[in-house]
Amino acid sequence: MKQLVLGGLLVLVLWSGWPDSAVAVDQAQLQSINQSWSQSAHALANVNCSSCHQNNSAKQVIQQPTHESCRSCHEAQVDTFLLGKHGIRLLEGQPALTPALAHLPMQAAAHDKQMNCNACHDVHSVKTLPASVDSCLTCHQDTHSLNYKNSRHAQLLREEGALPRPSTASTTCATCHLPRQTSASGTVMVNHKNTYTLLPRDRMVKEVCMNCHGMEFAYNSIFDDDLVESNFARPPTLSMDTLKMVRALEKQRSGNSTSE
Ligand code: HEC
Ligand code: HEC
Ligand code: HEC
Ligand code: HEC
Ligand code: HEC
Ligand code: HEC
């Protein structure tokens, strides 16, 4: 099976040839890519090398596919990604976002790391668990992000062990910033617009926290700047006026705060 697939790509490569500019792709690199792919959800679903590396109309090999190669099967994920701060530069035809362009503190080693699907997923293994926390921390280095590991949320995730995907009982960076949403037909989709739950701030209360916490607990947590900075590493001490919370929630429900 592995041999077949690898052979299949090599045939594809020999037949059409990598583009002239191609950096030599050695056998060892192909082996390791094939290894990651063969254990992936894609391999199980018969999504193979040519699904992403072959241009259907021109029958050419695409050596470095972009997010556009994902669109035929994951349109909603591609579209939401392009609308958030992570993806908007690509939507506008600019070079990808990199930590070098950020105001927020970032890992020096990731200075030139380009933001695309591969930045979080590893397009060949397409695992979602490492995408949910570890991938974020390869770039983000602000206090809030670094403090996540000290939170109850992180502890509960660690106790879950290595599931293929974070369960609905755990709270990762992605639970809050790339929330799962259920469509009318019941399919769950990860909203990849990474700035969606940030503005207004209490959008996160309804979209995320209230799946697990009461309204009062959630409001008192999210409007406490120190608690946000600590990444919710203690119970809330703030006590907001309940009526104010109800009004804020009502305003959000009736769609008055449509800024995204
Ligand atoms: C889900 C889509 C997808 C599948 C399936 C896939 N690839 Fe890729 N592949 C990509 C993307 C996207 C990139 C570019 C990653 C990046 O941004 O660096 C890539 C990069 C590569 C590269 C590196 C090219 C370079 O110049 O560095 C090789 C080699 C490669 N893929 C081989 C394979 C092989 C072999 C298979 C099948 C076993 C495979 N790919 C399956 C999407 C895919
Ligand atoms: C030919 C269709 C097809 C293409 C092209 C494709 N995928 Fe997929 N993808 C699937 C299918 C089918 C699944 C498995 C069922 C599901 O979870 O929806 C899947 C699952 C996934 C998952 C979830 C894996 C998991 O463990 O739950 C991720 C992440 C993913 N794809 C990312 C990508 C990325 C990134 C690209 C482009 C580089 C891409 N896919 C291109 C069909 C495709
Ligand atoms: C900022 C990191 C990040 C980037 C960039 C990213 N993803 Fe994801 N993606 C995730 C995480 C994390 C999950 C799983 C979240 C969860 O299950 O709670 C996920 C889940 C998915 C899934 C599983 C199906 C679903 O929606 O439930 C697909 C498919 C997917 N991503 C495709 C893509 C594609 C295509 C791109 C590029 C356009 C992309 N992702 C870019 C982090 C990212
Ligand atoms: C390739 C590096 C990289 C990865 C991986 C990455 N990010 Fe980002 N992210 C950035 C950069 C760069 C910005 C822009 C920061 C700025 O403008 O100061 C950003 C912006 C953000 C913002 C918006 C901040 C704001 O105030 O507008 C959030 C939220 C965010 N990322 C969360 C995440 C999460 C959650 C993950 C993992 C699921 C993740 N990021 C993965 C580089 C990355
Ligand atoms: C329980 C929910 C939750 C979790 C988990 C979480 N965040 Fe946040 N994050 C927030 C809230 C709330 C804000 C503040 C929004 C605001 O200031 O309006 C925020 C802000 C941010 C910002 C913007 C920081 C700034 O100074 O503007 C980034 C970047 C970010 N988070 C990344 C991450 C990363 C990376 C992780 C995981 C390591 C993570 N977050 C985990 C809720 C969460
Ligand atoms: C998937 C469920 C889930 C989601 C979503 C979630 N939490 Fe939690 N949270 C928990 C659990 C479980 C605990 C641990 C409760 C306990 O120990 O009794 C917890 C604990 C906390 C704590 C207390 C930490 C401590 O050390 O005692 C705070 C504060 C908190 N969450 C805030 C939030 C906020 C704010 C949001 C939304 C931005 C949120 N949570 C989203 C499940 C969740």
pLDDT tens profile 99-156: 999 999 999 999 999 999 999 999 999 999 999 999 999 999 999 999 999 999 999 9
The protein residue with its alpha carbon nearest to ligand 2, atom 43, reads: 73
Ligand found nearest the CA of 135: 4
pLDDT digit string, tens, across residues 38-89 = 999 999 999 999 999 998 777 789 999 999 999 999 999 999 999 999 999 9
State the closest ligand 6 atom to the C-alpha of 227, by its place in the atom list counted from 1: 29
Of 196 and 187, the structure prediction assigns the larger pLDDT to 196
State in Å: Cα 115 to ligand 4 middle: 9
Per-residue tokens: 239: 């006590």
Please choose from 144, 147, 152, 217 the residue to mutate so as to test ligand 5's pocket, defined by most ligand atoms within 8 A of CB: 144
List all residues 6 or more positions away from 139 whose beta carbon is below 8 Å from its beta carbon: 99, 106, 107, 110, 113, 119
pTM of the model: 0.93
Residue 80's Cβ-count burial label (10 Å; 0-12, 13-18, 19+) is buried
Per-residue tokens: 173: 């960076």
